[in-house]
């Protein structure tokens, strides 16, 4: 049974560029959440989507956006990249009762 | 505003001994607490959780204790094994807010 899959695993972008990160949840999981983990800190909540609707948004600028597709996969988009956006981006999925988050291995984004 | 705090960035323990990891929180609305373990280049892996209606939950070598009046929880690992060397994150959620608030993590090193 496949876990949460994220792509790409690593990415290098230049300041000002745009990036799209992708996440496929565990089969049967309808909720997807995105977290940013900067080195030395814990993951910080960015977005949560449930049944294709945004359920929550963390304290991130409007340069960050996301969406969830009918198959429950999700994309995280970041525009106008800054050096400070360099981080590990984690996707987590959870079953219909919204408990029991399972994380993917993350996408390591480096902005140069 | 850091609502979940892990004040010990690192912990070194001898194999076979007990590891005790501590976590404090400030938000009284938190009613569900989790511990995650993270190896380098992997996403966080769920270890154990506790609801605010309990003060202890045990799963094999892992026990979590919750002291609601002190807004404090701890994770005990007995006995510690070399494979337990990892970063441990404390996380919390509350009410209708399903997002997880994480601490900064504690790096555990188990010495042979």
Beta strand B4-5 pairing with B30-38: unpaired
As averages over each run of 10 residues, the pLDDT of chain B (112 residues) reads: 92 98 96 94 92 96 97 98 97 84 97 92
Nearest-CB residue to A42 (from B42, B45, B103): B103
Strand ranges for B52-96 from DSSP E: 56-59, 62-67, 72-77, 86-94
Distance CA(B66)–CA(B54), nearest Å, equals 7
The answer, for B94 touching chain A at a CB cutoff of 8 Å, is no
- Secondary structure of A68-81 as H, E, C letters: ECCCCCEEEEECCC
Nearest by CB: B99 against A33, A105, A106 = A33
- Point out the residue among B6, B98, B102 whose CB comes nearest to the CB of A43: B102
| Tokens 């705090």 found at | B5
pLDDT, tens digit, 9 for 90 and up, residues A38-94: 988 999 999 999 989 999 999 999 999 999 999 999 999 999 999 999 999 999 998
Helix (H) or strand (E) holding B48: strand B45-51
The answer to whether A33 contacts chain B (CB < 8 Å) is yes
Q: How far is B20 from chain A (nearest CA, A)?
A: 19
**Which chain B residue has the Cα nearest residue A33?**
B99
Per residue in A59-73, pLDDT (tens digit) is: 999 999 999 999 999
In chain B, where does DSSP find H-type helix?
none
């Amino acid at each position: 049974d496949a876990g949460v899959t994220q792509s790409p695993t690593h990415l290098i972008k230049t300041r000002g560029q745009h990036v799209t990160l992708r996440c496929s949840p565990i089969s049967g999981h309808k909720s997807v959440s995105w977290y940013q983990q900067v080195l030395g800190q814990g993951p910080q909540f960015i977005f949560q989507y449930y049944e294709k609707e945004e359920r929550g948004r963390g304290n991130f600028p409007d340069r960050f956006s996301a969406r969830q597709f009918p198959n429950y996969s999700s994309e995280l988009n970041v525009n106008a990249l800054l050096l400070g956006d360099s981080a590990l981006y984690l996707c987590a999925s959870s079953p219909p009762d919204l408990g029991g988050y399972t994380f993917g291995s993350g996408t390591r984004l480096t902005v140069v | 505003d850091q609502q979940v705090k892990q004040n010990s960035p690192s912990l070194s323990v001898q194999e076979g001994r007990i590891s005790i990891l501590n976590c404090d929180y400030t938000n009284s609305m938190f009613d569900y607490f989790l511990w995650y373990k993270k190896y380098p280049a992997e996403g966080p892996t769920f270890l154990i959780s506790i609801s605010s209606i309990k003060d202890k939950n045990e799963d094999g070598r892992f026990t979590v204790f919750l002291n609601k009046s002190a807004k404090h929880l701890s994770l005990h690992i007995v006995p510690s094994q070399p494979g337990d060397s990892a970063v441990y994150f404390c996380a919390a959620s509350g009410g209708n807010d399903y997002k997880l608030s994480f601490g900064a993590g504690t790096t555990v090193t188990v010495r042979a």
